[in-house]
Structure 1
């Protein structure tokens, strides 16, 4: 007699048992995998469980990221919504990857992807896929989309940091993470989230791009 196929519930229990008994990184990678699945309908439960257990991570618009502060979480959420609303898919892809790098402890990778998200947002606004962030910021400052010289300098210094810090501009993954601390990676992630919203605000101000 042919044995009955295992039930969906039983298979799911086995998957959970295997994945949730792994390393810290593998557990959070599995959680992000579930969050990325459009058909998974328990995302809200995962987000609430992280809050209830006072975990060091939160879910914001489908992104699993370390907790910094309520203000930083709101900033990340706003940036994510801005990218979705304007269909800035390139910036969103880099931003999501930065979140994954933070979860994996790849600090230089997180810094690299955070700055890449800003550069992608600038390219989206300027409709320019070739120039660097430095050139794009100067262009936006010249035509008034970046309204104050101090703001231009802040964004240029983000680019300067990524260019100067070994292993960030062209990240080599975990091998170069010792060049960037966790504190720096978290700070840059939040700062880049604010910068993305600011740059995309220029797109909203001038209309569709």
Structure 2
């Protein structure tokens, strides 16, 4: 906190930036890109060509001063277009430190969005964010589980057309898939897997009952796991609740049972 804020001469930011990114945030996000652009790829020219072609969708023979074009997005475009390009930059290289640096700015500036696995996610609670990030990291060796989590996150965070019903479906499927791995039976239902974990692996009975009930409720809600072509009224809040809780359950199973 600055001197002026500590001593009451100016007001620190109190509220979240929801569906907005002010000039300070825009400048700092641009600075992250500028400071880290050589980490994005060991071949910066390839990055320039790809972002010009894939993101800006401009003719390659017109490519000129790509950094100025990128800077204009941070400085002039709408908030969601900035998150679009932050996603692109973050996901360009898995080894890049750019994503965490973007998140540091977003947290500092009290933005309601974070970059998780290369996607901008509207998660305002740091505990929720940590659970999702931990799940994405821990499930790298569990391909099926990670794929469900990635799909849940993608459906949830789609700014143009979020699909909360399918996000919930994939969240449940991630928890179910992890439970199947723990008991070594890929054909078991979530309920069967939970029962076996209680009987043979010492899963706490109350925890088993709570997740069994949550699974049943979510599965019945708007027919989550059935008739997916029909319109759904599943809310943002419920989809976020299921994403966070199912990911936390996956994290718990990995930590508790060291599933291989």
Q: TM class by shorter-chain length?
A: 0.7 to 0.9
Conserved 8 A contact 1:64-1:100: no
Q: Hey, what's the Cα distance between the residues in 1 that align with 2:182 and 2:222? A: 28
Q: Is the 8 A contact 1:57 1:67 kept in 2?
A: yes
Tell me the TM-score normalized by structure 2.
0.63
Point out where structure 2 has 5 or more consecutive residues left out of the alignment. Answer: 1-44, 59-72
RMSD: 3.2
Which residue in 1 is equivalent to 2:231?
Answer: 176
Specify whether residues 183 and 141 from structure 1 end up closer, same or farther in structure 2 by C-alpha distance, changes over 3 A only: same
Determine if the alignment matches structure 1 residue 133 to structure 2 residue 190: yes
Higher Cα Rg, which structure: 2
1:66 maps to 2:148: no
Corresponding pairs, count: 194
Please list, as runs of the form range in 1=range in 2, the aligned pairs for 1:33-112 lying within 5 A after superposition.
34-38=89-93, 41=96, 42-48=98-104, 50-51=106-107, 54-84=110-140, 87-104=141-158, 105-112=162-169
Show the counterpart of 2:205. Answer: 149
| Mapped partners of 1:38, 1:170: distance in 2 | 36
1:12/1:32 CA distance change after superposition, 3 Å? closer
Q: Structure 2 CA distance, aligned partners of 1:172 and 1:30?
A: 31
Aligned to 1:12, which of 51, 69, 78?
51
Instruction: Report the secondary structure of 2:114's partner residue.
Output: strand
1:27 and 1:172 map into 2 onto residues whose CA distance is 31
The DSSP-based 3-state class of the residue aligned with 1:138 is helix
Gaps of 5+ in 1: 1-6
Tell me how far 1:16 sits from its aligned partner.
4.3
Correspondence 1:120 to 2:191: no
Q: 1:122-179: CA deviations, max 9, x gaps?
A: 1111121111101100010011341x21100111012202321124113626x5332x
- 2:239 aligned with 1:185, yes or no? yes
Q: Do the aligned partners of 2:88 and 2:118 also contact (CA within 8 Å) in 1?
A: no
Higher relative contact order (CA 8 A, sep 6+): 1
Aligned to 1:160: 216
TM-score (norm 1): 0.76
The offset of 1:13, in angstroms, is 4.5
* 1:202 matched to 2:256: yes
